[in-house]
A and B are shown apart, each in its own frame.
Chain A
Amino acid sequence: QKEVEQNSGPLSVPEGAIASLNCTYSDRGSQSFFWYRQYSGKSPELIMFIYSNGDKEDGRFTAQLNKASQYVSLLIRDSQPSDSATYLCAVNYGGSQGNLIFGKGTKLSVKP
Chain B
Amino acid sequence: KAGVTQTPRYLIKTRGQQVTLSCSPISGHRSVSWYQQTPGQGLQFLFEYFSETQRNKGNFPGRFSGRQFSNSRSEMNVSTLELGDSALYLCASSRKGDRGVTDTQYFGPGTRLTVL
Residues of A within 8 A of B (CB): 31-32, 34, 36, 42-46, 49, 51, 88, 90, 92, 94-105
Residues A31 and B101 in contact in the complex (CB < 8 Å), given A95-B56, A98-B50, A100-B45: yes
Least Cβ–Cβ distance between B72 and chain A, in angstroms? 12
Q: How many residues of B contact A (CB 8 A)?
A: 31
**Partner-contacting stretch, out of B13-21, B75-83, B103-111:** B103-111
Distance in angstroms between the alpha carbons of A97 and B105 in the assembled complex: 9
* Contact pattern, B 33-67, Cβ under 8 Å of A = 1, otherwise 0: 10100000011110010100001101000000000
Q: Are B103 and A43 in contact (CB under 8 A)?
A: no
- Contact of A43 with B43 at beta-carbon distance under 8 Å, contacts A98-B48, A98-B94, A98-B102 already known: no
Bound: A100/B90 CA distance, A: 13
Assembly CA distance A96 to B105 (angstroms): 12
Give chain B nearest CB distance to A8 CB in angstroms. Answer: 10
The answer to whether B56 touches A44 (Cβ under 8 A) is no
Contact A104/B102 with A43-B107, A98-B56, A99-B48 known, Cβ cut-off 8 Å = no
Query: Do residues A97 and B104 form an inter-chain contact, with CB atoms below 8 A?
Result: no
**Is B1 on the interface with A (CB-CB < 8 A)?**
no
Chain B residues within 8 Å of A100, by CB = 33, 45, 92, 102, 105
